[in-house]
Chain A
Amino acid sequence: MPPDHFSAGDAELDFQSRDPTFTDFFRTKASVVEASGFGRVFLLKAESTEDPPVLGFYAICMARIAKPDLPPEQREGAPAEQMPVALLAQFGKDRRVSAARDVANEMMADMIQRVLVVAEEIGCAGIILDTREPKLVLRYEKFGFRKVGHNPSKEKPNQKMFLPIQHAQANVPKNQ
């Protein structure tokens, strides 16, 4: 089964991430985000009892990129003061899931296709994410995300990455 909406009771499922903040989000914030309607959380649940109950999950919501102080020639063709984007706010798997499982790829494909629907219906410049792990930059680059902006903070060395919506659209198989 593909990833599905986080629902009542899912926070009680045994999910364990290597990152405690990610686990905490699952247990204490995911249900609130989902209930608020301002964001959505999707779970990929196990189909076998040999796996942990939740293989992975992601959270996504709309966000906006400010265009401060851009010179006029760069603003041309982008009339809005803010650019609407989809924000991949949380993305990860249970630490007990084997690396051989295709969990991240399945969730990434699901997430991108959901955003493509949003883009078709109301417009969206692309997908932005924020990663703290340099090794994940390489993984996201394989899916077409590219580094954008920079963060000089050594305490919180996050790297924002962006996938323009036209690149995502161009890679959907023609028969879909």
Chain B
Amino acid sequence: MATELITDFEPQIRAWYSAEAGTNVGAKNARIGARSEGMVVSPRVLDLPLGNIETDIDLGADGAAQLLAMTREKPLEIPELARILAKYPRKR
């Protein structure tokens, strides 16, 4: 249960979460509720409706290191990417 994820928070947040978040289908309301307490809460913690989209991505240590190394590469020319970006520019 996502409720368990929030047990380290302040009592009033727990109370709000227990009373409203589970039954509140309005994601905007849930987000506003969290913000009103001056908190930053991820969609995952609040179990909000991003469908089955997982926004905390765990690649493991090797995968994370691999990705980090890719972010440090020099820019590459990618012909097919350049072709579609030229064919479909941002402002048409």
Contacts and interface: CB of A to CB of B under 8 A. Distances in A.
Does A associate with B in a complex? Answer: yes
Interface of A: 2, 25, 29, 32-33, 35-39, 59, 61-70, 74, 77-78, 83, 85, 87, 89, 102, 105-106, 108-110, 112-113, 117, 125-126, 128, 142-144, 146, 148-150, 160, 162, 164-173, 176
A69 B61 contact: yes
A148 B70 CA distance: 9
Interface of B: 27-28, 31, 43, 48-51, 53-78, 80-82, 84-90, 92
B87 to A, nearest CB: 7
A126 B80 CA distance: 18
Closest 3 CB pairs of A and B: A149-B63, A170-B75, A36-B27
Given A33-B50, A37-B31, A38-B27, A105 B88 contact: yes
Given A63-B54, A148-B63, 5 more contacts: A89-B53, A164-B73, A166-B73, A173-B82, A173-B86
Contacts of B43: 36, 38
A166 B89 CA distance: 18
Contacts of B51: 25, 29, 32-33, 89
B64 A67 contact: yes
Which of A35, A85, A171 counts the most chain B CB atoms within 10 A?
Answer: A171
Given A2-B92, A68-B60, A110-B88, A162 B70 contact: yes
A171 B38 CA distance: 40
A146 B64 CA distance: 13
Contacts of A68: 58, 60-61, 64
A77 B55 CA distance: 23
A35 B27 CA distance: 8
8 contacts: A32-B27, A36-B49, A38-B48, A39-B53, A85-B57, A87-B55, A164-B70, A170-B78
Given A36-B31, A74-B65, A149 B81 contact: no
Contact of A65 (B48, B64, B75): B64
B60 A149 contact: yes
Contact of B61 (A39, A70, A85): A70
A148 B80 CA distance: 20
Contacts of B84: 105-106, 108-109, 143
